[in-house]
């Protein structure tokens, strides 16, 4: 059902919804909106069964590790696929942590710059004839 136009209260079939980073015109299918997107294959249910199994195995091994299990090399697993899944899980966590740190650092810098500009406005520009 189309959303209502805020001004008139009428249903507007030409309305658009933000769909990820794409606009989705109501009535369009997901495939019409996302079909050409390079990230389409990463959506849940869209990746291969092999990847689904690897993700499930990595999540399971991750849960075991969080519960206190350890996996000493090389005797823990007799299948290199399990080691690959475990390493991918660790790498993914590391990359996520690095991204989180970068976001936090960018926010800190942004906040420091905002405070600096606010202080400069309050003190009349902040520069007192020095060149």
Give the residue with greater pLDDT, 40 vs 130. Answer: 40
- The answer to whether the predicted template modeling score (pTM) of the entire model surpasses 0.75 is no
> How many separate helices (H) and strands (E) can be counted in the chain?
3, 2
Phi-psi region of 48 (alpha: psi -120 to 50; beta: other; left: phi over 0): beta
From the centroid of its chain, how far is CA 106?
Answer: 16
Structural domain boundaries in the chain: 1-46, 48-119
- Span 33-92, pLDDT tens digits: 777 777 766 666 666 777 888 888 999 988 998 899 888 887 888 888 888 888 888 898
């Amino acid at each position: 059902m189309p959303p209502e136009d805020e001004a008139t209260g009428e249903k507007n079939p030409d309305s658009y919804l933000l769909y990820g980073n794409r606009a989705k015109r109501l009535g369009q299918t997901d495939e019409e909106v996302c079909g050409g997107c390079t990230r389409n294959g990463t959506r849940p249910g869209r990746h291969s069964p092999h990847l689904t199994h690897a993700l499930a195995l990595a999540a399971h091994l991750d849960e075991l590790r969080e519960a206190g299990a350890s996996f000493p090399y090389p005797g823990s697993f007799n299948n290199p696929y399990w080691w690959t899944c475990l390493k991918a899980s660790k790498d993914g966590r590391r990359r996520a942590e690095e991204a989180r740190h970068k976001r936090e650092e960018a926010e800190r810098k942004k906040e420091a710059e905002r405070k600096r500009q606010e202080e400069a406005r309050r003190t009349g520009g902040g520069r007192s004839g020095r060149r």
